[in-house]
Amino acid sequence: MPGPSIAQIKEHVAERAIETGHPETLMHFLQELPGSMEAQQFYGLLIAGAAGITAHYLLKYLYGEPVFHRRFKRIVASWLLFVGSCAVLVGADTFTGQNGGFTGWFSVMVQGFTAGLGIDALANKGSKEIWTDEMRAARLAKDKAKS
């Protein structure tokens, strides 16, 4: 069941402030924020994105590449970039259709999964050696010796 939007929460907190005669505070707003529709979309993106990042780790493991080998900074960077992109997706009303309604959880999950997989793949591309002219010449000599 979808929750209220952030705008509806703001209205509710303002109405309650008028009824009680106490000013609206940030704490009143933050107490009701986790149940909002935007927060639920953000949580869905995080869950699906964590599955996408895990899928990328699994792919790297299956190809025999080191997964967590001296790449702590890249892992932290990919998670921070992913969380930021989730906030941007929700903040930009990506999941609001043309009629103003919610587009559905499938679109949230697909975008979260692909964002997590893609961001982690870019941040942790792997460590291929850059060939120098000497390495290339040695390889060519070795190949000529075989044939």
pLDDT one-digit tens code per residue, 37-56 = 888 899 999 999 999 999 99
DSSP state of 16: H
The DSSP string of 42-78 is HHHHHHHHHHHHHHHHHHHHHTT--SSSS-HHHHHHH
Q: For residue 97, what pLDDT band results from cuts at 50, 70 and 90?
A: confident
Give CA angle at 29 (26, 31), nearest 5°.
105
DSSP state of 147: -
How far is C-alpha 107 from the chain's CA centre? Answer: 14
Residue 129 pLDDT: 65
What are the φ/ψ torsions at residue 76 (nearest 5 degrees)? -65, -40
How many Å apart are CA 3 and CA 123, to the nearest integer? 34
Residue 1 pLDDT: 47
How many Å apart are CA 85 and CA 77, to the nearest integer? 12
Residue 101 pLDDT: 81
Higher local confidence (pLDDT), 116 or 129: 116
Residue 116 pLDDT: 93
Residue among 116, 107, 119 at smallest CA distance from 54: 116
How many Å apart are CA 95 and CA 41, to the nearest integer? 8
Residue 70 pLDDT: 61
Per-residue pLDDT of 75-94, as tens digits, reads: 888 899 999 999 999 888 88
The pTM score is: 0.70
